[in-house]
Amino acid sequence: MKLAFIGGGNMAQALIAGLHQKSFDTRNITVVEPDTDKRAWLSARYGVSASPTLADAASSEVIVLAIKP
């Protein structure tokens, strides 16, 4: 299953960490995040694909909005 998270903040990080602990293949996760440093950290820490553009989430089966209302 391909997942995309819109937002790479605390909520997304908690969900990704939980998936990582349950042996979900994090290479199937895309995180859309405008902050360059946060994208780099998420990629290094969890092995996710991180992008600044929404178009990269379009091929995902599930899109999670992980942003503040």
pLDDT tens per residue across span 13-49: 999 999 999 999 999 999 999 999 999 999 999 999 9
Q: What is the pLDDT of residue 63?
A: 97
Q: What is the pLDDT of residue 31?
A: 98
**55: burial class by Cβ within 10 Å (0-12, 13-18, 19+)?**
exposed
**Using CA atoms, how far apart are residues 35 and 43, in angstroms rounded to an integer?**
12
Q: Is 4 exposed, middle or buried (0-12, 13-18, 19+ CB in 10 A)?
A: buried
Q: What is the pLDDT of residue 69?
A: 82
Helix (H, G, I), strand (E, B) or coil at 22: coil
Dist. CA 30–CA 3, nearest whole Å: 6
Q: What is the pTM of this model?
A: 0.93
So what's the pLDDT on residue 68?
Answer: 86
Q: What is the pLDDT of residue 8?
A: 96
